[in-house]
């Protein structure tokens, strides 16, 4: 016998035990159902890509954290850090074979060697939805609607998809007479608005300031008039999309290109309205930015209004330069990515997720070795009728121990069957939930024994029908 | 603009485009449905494990082909090469939290840096089903039944699960008076039976021989009497499990331990019979071995009788030393692994797999820009009624081009809607399959134009009902 190996995982990695996996699968199946109803088709790509394929693409911040992989041929390989880069590679690689538009979803692990933190893992799941090679506005509308329908399918009553457009920010730069090459710097400061407040943002955009620790924050040197125009833009916070659009038309009146840009945003908003997605569900919010270097048009994100602390659970937008790196040609594309871990955490917080540890609905207990065949037959009878059932496979021991197992696994019903039952042609069905409720209302042990809470004797031939009836009632 | 990157994959890796993924998901969903009906629960583990966890475990042949991974901390890591080693680690690591029995399924990628070959990839999917910490025979029975039910759920009419037991081979060694330490050598030669034939096997077990290329194959030095006993064992090829068991009782009569071992095999066979799994579905086949170093009891494999060239599509058995490497204690376990790629290839060969490229059932075409809102509404109306529908998102162009897209994607129905239809309150539904069939029977183009094969005008308000009716009829 060789030395014992310690069972453990490297930091930032984790196992998903059955209770976590059941919740995750439920969520993924629901969202997959919506995407397939929309006619998106699944794609899978390998975890391992060439390093030069992974590098130099849009998701710059993820580049430094690529897990390196080596094969026998000693090639330069790495694990994918998102699903967008592989999509771009696939679209470029199979241009002749793939239909245009290419509308795909992909749910898969990605790896980033960042510093692990609470809720931040080095391997995590992304669930992406993208349309490549597609017309604007209708495609954008569909992605936003898909986000809404996914959240609704998961039982979220109050959510909000916020959208804006990179093109509106370009208009703002022109309106405020800020050179395009200064855009990145200006947006970096504006992104801090929630964190440091309007006054400090203003000072950083103009003359700079000295912060609490005495450090000097340099200013960007914009004029007061320029900052006034930025503030006027950000001050547009009307509740209805139509009102925001009207305010934008007013603000950018006479600016070249303003009409086309605002018309495009208005078309998305109008399409959504025609499909019944009102202002409660989708807001035009000029403060959202979402990594602007990456996106080229509309940007979207979704939050749960009853769990805002979890941040945005969906993010996306239009990125027309997706495939350019491989083909030299721009290809229009729009998509969204669901944060599986974050959304699941939020849904769990909201009590929308079942706390199940097992797929079984019924545990068939084993009380008597001589009745093994009967136990097998009872179990298969239920399974063949479509009722998920489990025969207790541990050491038989006491029935109490087996019921404890059912309880621990969250299995709602148990079947008890001994030689007495066999003779009488009956089966005892124990409703563990009802049993718990009834037992709490019983005063003495004698009474408890007499009543045997949650227990029910049914005819052997009625078993499946009775089990179904109890399960349907839950 | 930086240099263009060539879109490509390292050898042995592959993308699964939508048609392949749809078939694969259909298969995985079906089998998952069976496993969940059995009350098995899902588990996920990270792709990356410590090298010492991966190494030195049972699957020796896979050790040399581990993909190495490096992180910032420069730890010794690798990608998992199977799902059994991670299961063993999980069971050892969460002993206190996990229920006993622990019955889990896992479907996930594994990586092996072997020489790539036709149908042999460096990243491939395994779908494992295991019960850990469980009683014998009932648990083994359940795994065999699960293999049968999975194949039946996939529409396979003729399959056979073959099973045997490592314990029977131990009896054979005693019966033939062969020392236990010679077992591995003897079984290695017996494994070649199909390949080199009985005569060469006999010679290799005894005196050796010179092969066609003149090389000397050394013999193991068994006596003729010993080989006779081995051959008598392998000659047991009765069609019914009961007859094989009777022949074994006869062959091993009086051998110590023979009764217990044969009783155990007979119980599995009897349990299966009691559940309706007859000799057609499950055979007791003494010739199967399945990597004996790994297994400690019964072994199983499944073949499709109408596609035997694909080999075994399921393999498994009992391996009670699974967790020992981590805990020092043996833990009883039994399981099976489905070869996803191989089974899918076999099902495709048998015509059991739909050739779909899309999840859509209906394509809403765009003929008139002014009717965009109508097209959106038609699409969402179908989706909200649960009919997977797609609005054509490519450049509008001709309807012909859009119908060609539907045809290419395997979408059966298309919706045509122009200003004439709008005025009349109707929608044209085009049944592309019916259209193809009808068009083939039409003689002239004039006739074709007149008949417009496969086209059907329906009232706008009847659209969903009519579409459902046509789809249900297919």
Q: Concatenated DSSP letters for A196-231?
A: H-HHHHHHHHTTEEE-TTS-EEE-----HHHHHHHH
- Is residue B183 domain-shared with residue B328, that is, in the same domain? yes
Report A:215-234 residues touching B (Cβ under 8 A). Answer: none
Taking every pair of Cα atoms in chain A, the longest distance, rounded to a whole number of angstroms, is: 94
Greater pLDDT, B474 or B404: B404
- Is residue A402 domain-shared with residue A463, that is, in the same domain? yes
Best mean pLDDT range from A166-170, B60-64, B180-184, B383-387: B383-387
The total number of residues written for chain B in this structure? 474
User: B15–A93: do the CB atoms touch at under 8 Å?
Assistant: yes
ipTM: 0.88
- Is residue B176 domain-shared with residue B266, that is, in the same domain? yes
- Is residue B191 domain-shared with residue B249, that is, in the same domain? yes
Q: Rounded to whole angstroms, how far apart are CA atoms A83 and A316?
A: 13
B12 within some domain: no
A468 within some domain: yes
- What is the residue whose two structure tokens read 């996939």? B154
**Confidence band for B56, pLDDT divided at 50, 70 and 90:** low
B298 has pLDDT over 70: yes
Q: What is the pLDDT of residue B427?
A: 96
- Is residue B337 domain-shared with residue B412, that is, in the same domain? no
Q: Is A393 on the interface with B (CB under 8 A)?
A: yes
B356 within some domain: no
- Is residue B313 domain-shared with residue B457, that is, in the same domain? no
Report A:397-456 residues touching B (Cβ under 8 A). Answer: 405, 408-409, 411
CA atoms within 13 A on the CB side of B242: 6
- Please, which residues bridge with residue B49 across strands? B78
Looking at residue B134, which CATH number applies to its domain? 3.30.930.10
User: A7–B97: do the CB atoms touch at under 8 Å?
Assistant: no
Contacts of A52 in chain B (CB under 8 A): 5
Q: What is the pLDDT of residue A342?
A: 92
- Is residue A256 domain-shared with residue A300, that is, in the same domain? yes
Q: How much is the average pLDDT of B70-81?
A: 91
- Is residue A313 domain-shared with residue A416, that is, in the same domain? no
Q: Give the domain-ending residue among A323, A349, A375.
A: A349
A28 within some domain: yes
pTM of the predicted protein model: 0.90
Compute the nearest-CA separation of B227 from chain A (Å).
Answer: 32
Compute the nearest-CA separation of A193 from chain B (Å).
Answer: 33
Q: How much is the average pLDDT of B96-119?
A: 90
Contacts of B376 in chain A (CB under 8 A): 138, 141, 271, 274-275
Give residue A383's Cα distance to chain centre: 32
Number of folded domains in chain B?
2
A75 within some domain: yes
Report B:111-150 residues touching A (Cβ under 8 A). Answer: 111, 113, 122-123, 131, 133-135, 138-139, 141-142, 145
pLDDT tens across B274-297, in order? 999 999 999 999 988 655 567 889
In this structure, the strands spanning B68-70 and B77-79 are: antiparallel
pLDDT tens across B231-287, in order? 999 999 999 999 999 999 999 999 999 999 999 999 999 999 999 999 999 999 998
Q: What is the pLDDT of residue A58?
A: 47
Q: Is B376 on the interface with A (CB under 8 A)?
A: yes
Residue of chain A whose alpha carbon sits nearest to that of B113: A71
- Is residue A102 domain-shared with residue A199, that is, in the same domain? yes
Contacts of A11 in chain B (CB under 8 A): 73
Q: Is A285 on the interface with B (CB under 8 A)?
A: no
Q: Give the domain-ending residue among B287, B317, B349.
A: B349
- Are B182 and B304 spatial neighbours (Cβ–Cβ below 8 Å)? no
Q: What is the pLDDT of residue A322?
A: 77
Q: What angle do CA B432, B24, A72 make, to 5 degrees?
A: 130
Mean pLDDT for all residues in chain B = 90
Looking at residue A431, which CATH number applies to its domain? 3.40.50.800
Q: Is B67 on the interface with A (CB under 8 A)?
A: yes
Q: How many CB atoms lie within 10 A of CB B164?
A: 23
Give me the residue from B13, B73, B94 closest to A46, CB to CB. Answer: B13
A12 within some domain: no
Q: Is A70 in a helix, a strand, or coil?
A: strand
Domain span at B69: 18-349
B464 within some domain: yes
Q: What is the pLDDT of residue B291?
A: 58
Q: What is the pLDDT of residue B129?
A: 96
Q: Rounded to whole angstroms, how far apart are CA atoms B468 and B349?
A: 30
pLDDT in tens, chain A (474 residues): 457 899 999 999 999 999 999 999 999 999 999 999 999 999 999 999 999 999 865 455 556 789 999 888 889 999 999 999 999 999 999 998 998 889 999 999 999 998 888 778 999 999 999 999 887 899 999 999 999 999 999 999 999 999 999 899 999 999 999 998 888 888 888 878 878 888 999 999 999 999 888 889 999 999 999 999 999 999 999 999 999 999 999 999 999 999 999 999 999 999 999 999 999 999 999 988 655 567 889 999 999 999 999 999 999 999 888 788 898 888 999 999 999 999 999 999 999 998 788 999 999 999 998 999 999 999 999 999 999 999 999 887 788 999 999 998 999 999 999 999 999 999 999 998 877 677 666 666 666 556 667 888 999 999 999 999 999 987
The fraction of chain B above a pLDDT of 90, given in percent, is 71
- Is residue B368 domain-shared with residue B323, that is, in the same domain? no
Q: Is B44 on the interface with A (CB under 8 A)?
A: yes
Task: Look at A194-208, A328-342, B92-106, B186-200 and tell me which has the smallest mean pLDDT.
Answer: B186-200
Report B:294-333 residues touching A (Cβ under 8 A). Answer: 324-328
Q: Give the domain-ending residue among B320, B349, B378.
A: B349
What are the tokens at B310?
A: 């694909």
- Is residue A179 domain-shared with residue A31, that is, in the same domain? yes
**Confidence band for B58, pLDDT divided at 50, 70 and 90:** very low
Q: Which residues contact A289 (CB under 8 A, 6 or more apart)?
A: A164, A169, A187, A190, A191, A299
Q: What is the pLDDT of residue A338?
A: 95
Q: What is the pLDDT of residue B61?
A: 57
Greater pLDDT, B415 or B439: B415
- Are B311 and B120 spatial neighbours (Cβ–Cβ below 8 Å)? no
Q: What is the pLDDT of residue A318?
A: 92
Contacts of A395 in chain B (CB under 8 A): 135
Q: What is the pLDDT of residue A269?
A: 97
B186 within some domain: yes
User: A71–B10: do the CB atoms touch at under 8 Å?
Assistant: yes
* Pairs of residues, one from chain A and one from chain B, whose beta carbons lie less than 8 Å apart: 298
Give me the residue from B77, B360, B380 closest to A39, CB to CB. Answer: B360
Residue of chain B whose alpha carbon sits nearest to that of A390: B39
- Is residue A271 domain-shared with residue A414, that is, in the same domain? no
A290 phi, psi to nearest 5 deg: 50, 70
CA dihedral B67, B73, B74, B76 (to 10 degrees): -50
Q: What angle do CA A261, A241, A289 make, to 5 degrees?
A: 60
């Amino acid at each position: 016998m060789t030395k014992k190996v310690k069972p453990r995982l490297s930091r930032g990695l984790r196992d998903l035990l059955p209770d976590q996996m059941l919740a995750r699968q439920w969520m993924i199946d629901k969202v997959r159902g919506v995407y397939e109803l929309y006619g998106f088709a699944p794609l899978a790509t390998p975890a391992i890509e060439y390093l030069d394929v992974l590098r130099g693409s849009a998701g710059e911040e993820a580049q430094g954290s690529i897990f390196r992989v080596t094969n026998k041929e000693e090639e330069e390989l790495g694990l994918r850090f998102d699903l967008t880069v592989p999509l771009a590679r696939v679209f470029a690689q199979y241009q002749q074979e793939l239909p245009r538009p290419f509308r795909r979803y992909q749910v898969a692990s990605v790896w980033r060697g960042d510093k692990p933190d609470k809720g931040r893992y080095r391997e995590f799941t992304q669930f992406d939805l993208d349309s490549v090679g597609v017309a604007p506005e209708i495609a954008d509308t569909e992605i936003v609607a898909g986000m809404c329908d996914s959240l609704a399918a998961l039982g979220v009553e109050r959510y909000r998809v916020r959208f804006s457009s990179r093109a509106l920010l370009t208009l703002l730069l022109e309106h405020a007479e800020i050179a395009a090459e200064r855009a990145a710097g200006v947006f970096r400061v504006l992104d801090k608005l929630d964190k440091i407040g309007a006054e400090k943002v203003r000072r950083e955009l103009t003359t700079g300031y000295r912060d609490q620790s005495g450090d000097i924050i340099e200013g960007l040197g914009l004029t007061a008039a320029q900052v006034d125009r930025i503030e006027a833009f950000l001050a547009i916070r009307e509740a209805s999309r139509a009102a925001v659009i009207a305010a934008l038309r007013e603000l950018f009146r006479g600016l070249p290109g303003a009409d086309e840009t605002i018309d495009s945003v208005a078309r998305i908003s109008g399409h959504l309205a025609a499909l019944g997605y009102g202002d409660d569900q989708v807001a035009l919010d000029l403060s959202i930015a979402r990594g602007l270097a990456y996106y080229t048009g509309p940007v979207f994100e979704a939050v749960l209004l009853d769990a805002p602390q979890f941040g945005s659970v969906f993010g996306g937008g239009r990125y027309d330069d997706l495939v350019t790196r491989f083909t030299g040609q721009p290809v229009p594309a729009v998509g969204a990515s669901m944060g599986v871990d974050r959304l699941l955490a939020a849904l769990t917080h909201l009590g929308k997720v079942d706390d199940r540890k097992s797929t079984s609905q019924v545990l068939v207990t084993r009380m008597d070795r001589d009745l093994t065949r009967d136990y097998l037959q009872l179990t298969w009878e239920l399974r063949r009728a479509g009722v998920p059932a489990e025969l207790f496979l541990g050491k038989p021991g006491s029935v109490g121990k087996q019921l404890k197992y059912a309880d621990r696994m969250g299995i709602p019903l148990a079947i008890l069957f001994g030689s007495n039952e066999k003779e009488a042609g009956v089966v005892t069905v124990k409703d563990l939930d009802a049993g718990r409720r009834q037992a709490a209302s019983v005063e003495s042990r004698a009474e408890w024994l007499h009543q045997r809470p949650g227990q029910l004797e049914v005819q052997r031939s009625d078993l499946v029908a009775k089990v179904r009836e109890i399960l349907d009632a839950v």
